[in-house]
């Protein structure tokens, strides 16, 4: 089997699957199997986030300036078995690399810090509102 000439990213393939439709000539309607499936959207989001986390893992492990760059498997097992402050510090250092993974705790912490810095620079807002769509349940958005 030959490789593709051009690479297709996971997000691009998911967008394509959302638009994928099957025509039913009996009732003259199009059926969107992926867009109408109640679980597929959650699966696609979960898979994309896991891929982003895997990518960040590589960045963390390749970071030669990190004190954890040369940690051995035995040292890691010992940290996990002891379950003390050393493990908490390791997890804290690893979390910093997940700040660009949407929805992670590190992502929301980073956004909180950005908001607090904006308030410090500009002052307390006089009006505040957020717009949040239930994007995984909004049928018109997927069409």
Total-model pTM? 0.53
What tens digit of pLDDT does each residue of 82-141 get? 888 888 888 777 777 777 777 777 888 889 999 999 999 998 888 777 676 666 666 666
State residue 29 phi and psi, 5-degree precision.
-125, 155
Longest CA–CA separation in the chain, Å:
65
Section 64-88 average pLDDT: 80
Q: Which 8-state DSSP code applies to residue 66?
A: S
Our separate counts of H helices and E strands in the chain read 7, 2
Q: Is the pLDDT of residue 34 over 70?
A: yes
pLDDT at 133: 63
pLDDT at 54: 78
Percent of all residues in the chain with a pLDDT value above 70, rounded to a whole number: 81
């Amino acid at each position: 089997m030959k490789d593709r000439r051009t690479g297709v990213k996971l997000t691009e393939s998911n967008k394509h699957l959302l638009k994928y439709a099957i025509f039913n000539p009996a009732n003259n309607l199009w059926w969107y199997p992926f867009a109408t499936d109640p679980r597929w959207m959650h699966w696609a989001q979960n898979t994309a986030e896991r891929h982003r986390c895997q990518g960040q893992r590589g960045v963390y492990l390749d970071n030669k300036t990190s004190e954890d760059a040369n940690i051995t498997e035995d040292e890691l097992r010992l940290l996990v078995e002891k379950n003390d402050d050393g493990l908490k510090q390791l997890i804290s250092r690893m979390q910093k690399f997940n700040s660009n993974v949407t929805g992670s705790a590190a992502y929301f912490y980073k956004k909180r810090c950005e908001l607090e810095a904006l308030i410090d620079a500009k002052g307390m807002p006089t009006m505040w509102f957020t717009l949040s769509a239930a994007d995984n349940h909004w049928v018109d958005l997927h069409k």
